[in-house]
Amino acid sequence: MKILFYTFLLAVIILACKNSKAEKQSDGNNKTESKADTARMASFPGTAIYIQLPKGFVWNETAMGFYKEEDGSVIKYNEFKKMRYAANMSAEETMGSLINQQPITINGYKGVIKTYQQGSTGIQLDLSFGDASFMEFVEATYFSHQEQTAKDILAALKTIQIKKK
């Protein structure tokens, strides 16, 4: 499990560095003004989920999410978990050791943030929220020694807004 995690993380970092030209910042189609606080929000492409990104995070095709090149952190929409939920498939807790779980309300919808320890250095946050008609999943990964990045990501997850179609 540890080897798989480190291999995946290393592959993402290497591909991101090699494909830095493929990296693009969110353009006008991916940003909107929040009516509540007029803060700029970025959307996960193809979704109705908007987030106020921490400093240094930009969209990266290779990482399939918002990526922070300085430390390899990623915030992404998890389509696989959404499909698994829609198909009533059981969720195996294979992401590491669950170390924390806290309730959260996202744009009026109840949810939960689960924190997993992955090996000795990796952390994964899994956010799920919704109601009887839908469920959304966002995850973030970072190294455990990145205390400021951890705070920034958690704060960003709490800014998520959803604009149902």
> What pLDDT digit, counting tens, does each position of 111-128 carry?
999 999 988 999 999 999
Among 18-27, 63-72, 76-85, which range has the highest average pLDDT?
63-72
pLDDT band at 53 (very low <50, low <70, confident <90, very high): very high
Cβ-based burial of 96 (10 A; exposed 0-12, middle 13-18, buried ≥19):
middle
Q: Is the pLDDT of residue 57 over 70?
A: yes
pLDDT confidence of residue 165: 60
Domain residues for the domain of 157 are 2-162
The tally of domains found in the chain comes to 1
pLDDT confidence of residue 162: 85
CATH assignment of the domain containing 27: 3.40.1000
Residue whose C-alpha is closest to residue 140's, from 53, 52, 75, 70: 75
Q: Is the pLDDT of residue 32 over 70?
A: no
